[in-house]
Amino acid sequence: MKNLIAPHGSDSLNPLFVNDSSQRESLISKSKDMPQLLLNSAAAANVVMLGAGYFTPLSGFMDKKNAISVSNNMLTTEGLFWPVPIVNLTKDSKNIKIGDEIALLDPNMEGNPVIAIQQVSAIENLSDDEIKVMTDKVFGTTDKSHPGVANFLSLGNTLISGDIKVLNYSYFPNEFPGTFATAPEIREMLAKAGWSKTVAFQTRNPMHRAHEELCKMALERLDADGVLIHMTLGKLKEGDIPGDIRNSAIAKMVEIYFPENTVMISGFGFDMLYAGPREALLHAVFRQNCGCSHLIVGRDHAGVGDYYGPFEAQEVFKLDVVKNSLKLEIFSADHTAFSKKLNKVIMMRDAKDHSKDDFVLLSGTKVREMLSNGEELPPEFARKEVAEILMRYYQSL
């Protein structure tokens, strides 16, 4: 794997999943006698990402000093670049003591099975003010109408830190077989394909013509070996399309409209934060851990509503702390759309002589409305085969 970009902050990946099955069985059996903590979905998603090596080189959940340092400066107390605190926040720590080994229970699986074992190194309270400052630094707002903020503020004020051993990947392997993959698995796929220059495309939505062309532009302009279409498979906000539907739609588009052996489709088990620039940086860190050399960062990357400027997520990569820390580079993209004048999909910034009316633009609401009514989407906007998969889903609601 010598031709792949090195993982973040390390020479090798650090997946926290316990590979040895007899050791795993033994830990599961011991966990029955341990103090237990039912995780929230955000902490469970962190467990999956730590287990799968995406959060290399972290070894578990951050303590208060690190969480605050990462929020304020995007650096751990030891100087590792990290854009978002990786924490286990809870409202319920009454049965837990420092030094305990505790069983972390999965909130997203029936019966709440144990997902990981944590060695508790500290139990610390965050004041409401400290939570507020962290929220403001990470999300750029404390407005509870922001779905990421609302979720973060609901998690609790008690921080349980310490190293973890991960026992399973929650519902992701079963619900997304063939799509969910760990960072070591993706590195292996890239190495096998002989790709040393890989562009990652982050998505939580099905891909329309504009997304398809954006991937093709990046492939061509960077002279890359291939594109990794990498999907968020975790919890989304209300109204977002479920992972399995999105998966089928993307697979169909790649099968028909991309040259053979230029695209890999995969997914990761994380809940969207909708944290704009900070989340774009997290996306870059874990794509580097996957072996990708580039990440497409488009207009309002990982944003929601009007909380972030359209290109704030690109600007943040110009900060010294980022440039000095990441090996991965970004492919900065503008909004892409079909130009009626040029009869092709282009980046809107490349068309100085166009007005809005010269493009085929549809809002998400309009798209959902048309699909629900069984109306065909314009071919300039969506591939027919993709639109049919989405239409079947919307009409089943």
Query: Average of pLDDT values for 34-45?
Result: 97
Q: What is the mean pLDDT of the chain?
A: 95
Superfamily (CATH H level) for 176-396: HUPs (3.40.50.620)
Closest CA relative to residue 248, chosen from 301, 177, 182: 177
Encode 174-205: b = buried (16+ Cβ within 10 Å), e = exposed.
ebbeebbbbbbebbebbeeeebbbbbbbbbbb
pLDDT of residue 205: 84
- d(CA 288, CA 1) in angstroms, rounded, equals 14
Looking at per-residue pLDDT, the higher value among 94 and 218 belongs to: 218
Asked whether 234 and 270 are in contact (CB, 8 A), the reply is yes
pLDDT at 387 over 60: yes
Residue 388 has pLDDT above 60, yes or no: yes
In the chain, CATH 3.40.50.620 sits at 176-396
pLDDT band at 235 (very low <50, low <70, confident <90, very high): confident
Q: CA 197, 201, 204: angle at the middle one, nearest 5?
A: 160
In terms of CATH architecture, what is 21-173?
Roll (3.10)
Catalytic machinery residues: 204-205
For the chain, give the percent of residues with pLDDT over 90.
Answer: 87
Question: For residues 3 and 130, which has the higher predicted lDDT (pLDDT)?
Answer: 130
pLDDT-derived band at 193, boundaries 50, 70, 90: very high
Q: Which residues contact 48 (CB under 8 A, 6 or more apart)?
A: 115, 166, 169, 170, 172, 234, 269, 270
The letter for the amino acid at 245 is I
Q: Say yes or no to pLDDT of 1 above 50.
A: no
Q: How far apart, in whole angstroms, are the C-alpha atoms of residue 299 and residue 302?
A: 9
pLDDT in tens, 49-102: 999 999 999 999 999 999 999 999 999 999 999 999 999 999 989 899 999 999
Dist. CA 156–CA 104, nearest whole Å? 16
Q: What is the pLDDT of residues 245-295, one digit of tens each?
A: 998 999 999 999 999 999 999 999 999 999 999 999 999 999 999 999 999
Going by C-beta distance under 8 Å and a sequence separation of 6 or more, which residues neighbour residue 38? 92, 105, 107, 112
Output the six-digit token pair for 92: 């319920």
* CATH code 3.10.400.10 region(s) in the chain: 21-173
